[in-house]
Amino acid sequence: MHSEPENTEEEPLPILWGLDPIFSAFAKLYIKDILELQESYRVPGIFFYKTHPVTKVDILGTVVHKREREDFFSYGVDDSTGVINCVCWKNTFWKEYTKPSTSNISYPTTAAFNVADQMRKLQQVVQRQSCLEIGDVIRVRGHIKNSRQQREIIACTYYNVEDPTFAHQISWMLEVPQLYRHFYDKPFQNAFISSDKKEYLSLTGLVGQLTEKLKEFLQETKVHTFSLKDLETVESLVKLASLPVNPQNTAAGGLVSKQVHSLFRQAVQMLQESGLVFQKFCFPEEIFQVTEQDKELCKLTKEIIKEDSKKEKYAEKGCHFNHIFSCVRQSYNSNISEAAMQQVLSILECESEVIRTTDNHYASF
């Protein structure tokens, strides 16, 4: 339970977080600062560097300790300001390469090109980039998390940086101080609040209204997937997002168009943070899945809990949330967030498909 600090003026309201570009970006922070980030007293899992909300970080450092588990590597990364633990999940390529080949699939070959050989080479590259040793330089992008009273990074992307001439590290050391100077160390308010406070409050209120309107629209229409372009064809949503924030916007169609696109992105971001939607595809365009409407995801999650609960390891308490989350990410979609996974488990609980045995364990009926 988070207790509210005495001075709450420095933490912006949650409805304002999406207006700060740092909130949606992988912030390139020093590890020392990541370890000292203050967690929000309003929403666990959101952290603050000064007045900037931070959920995702991008770090570069040297591996100083290593542990390997069945599903992930745990690397201690040092950037000379501090050391932080990074949980790096093994991907499918890595696992397939390390397992004995039992496949009878034959690939077409020619004298000049052999698909099977190329796949093996690709798997070797993936393993070489993901299995690091002490002393290797690693770059990690991921979400910040507190686990067992320790700060760590749950990686969504990580790789070995081959940097024999130190060019990458030098470039990093030149870039990060500039980011601190021009963005991170500047107050959140300075970037968005104009001299007229009423304009700023109108904008933030618009984001909240659009988020609620979008949530209602998705529930009423039972939409399964959507893109930002799809939302821009819904007249009622566009009408709300086009409301003038200040007098200048009403005179310039280009500005209104940018405002609509920006507000839709912020509203979707807020729905992602709550787990109501998650990103299903990134290319060729961003496609978002409504969590509640993904019956395949619910079915897969139920099957994982049902089958793994039979194993001796999980017989007593059931499957831990992290185990279920890891299996779903590897089997279905690596973009699924913890919040979306919690939504799926809540749906299964309401439908009496699974039961929560502890705060973090689930078993099948």
Categorize the per-residue pLDDT at 206 as very low, low, confident or very high, splitting at 50, 70 and 90.
Answer: confident
The span from the CA of 213 to the CA of 216, in Å, is 5
Query: Does residue 207 contact residue 271 with C-beta atoms inside 8 Å?
Result: no
The span from the CA of 161 to the CA of 163, in Å, is 6
CATH superfamily of 14-188: Nucleic acid-binding proteins (2.40.50.140)
Domain boundaries, the chain: 14-188, 196-270, 294-364
Ranking 9-13, 134-138, 272-276 by mean pLDDT, the lowest is 9-13
Per-residue pLDDT for 196 more than 50? no
Mean pLDDT along residues 235-249: 72
pLDDT digit string (tens) for 211-230?
889 999 999 999 999 999 99
Query: Does residue 62 contact residue 132 with C-beta atoms inside 8 Å?
Result: no
Provide DSSP, 293-356.
G-HHHHHHHHHHHHHHTTSGGGTTT-EEHHHHHHHHHHHT-TT--HHHHHHHHHHHHHTTSEEE
User: What's the mean per-residue pLDDT of the chain?
Assistant: 82
Residue 69: what pLDDT? 86
Per-residue pLDDT for 101 more than 50? no
Centre a 10 Å sphere on the Cβ of residue 186 and count the other Cβ atoms it contains: 14
Closest to 35 (Cα-Cα) out of 6, 64, 76:
76
> Structure pTM?
0.50
Cα-Cα end-to-end distance for the chain:
30
H helices, E strands: number in the chain: 14, 15
pLDDT digit string (tens) for 251-304?
344 467 788 888 898 899 889 988 999 988 877 788 999 999 999 999 999 999
The span from the CA of 327 to the CA of 304, in Å, is 8
| φ/ψ (deg, to 5) at 27 | -75, 125
Instruction: Tell me whether the CATH fold assigned to 14-188 matches the one assigned to 196-270.
Output: no
pLDDT digit string (tens) for 29-69?
999 999 999 998 888 889 999 989 999 999 999 999 999 88
If one looks up domain 294-364 in CATH, what number appears? 1.10.10.10
The span from the CA of 233 to the CA of 4, in Å, is 42
> 244 in helix, strand or coil?
coil
Residue 255: what pLDDT? 60
List helix spans (H) across 107-234. Answer: 115-130, 167-179, 188-192, 197-221, 228-231
pLDDT digit string (tens) for 149-185?
899 999 988 888 988 899 999 999 999 999 999 889 9
What is the CATH architecture of 196-270?
Orthogonal Bundle (1.10)
Categorize the per-residue pLDDT at 3 as very low, low, confident or very high, splitting at 50, 70 and 90.
Answer: very low
Mean pLDDT along residues 178-202: 63
The span from the CA of 24 to the CA of 254, in Å, is 23
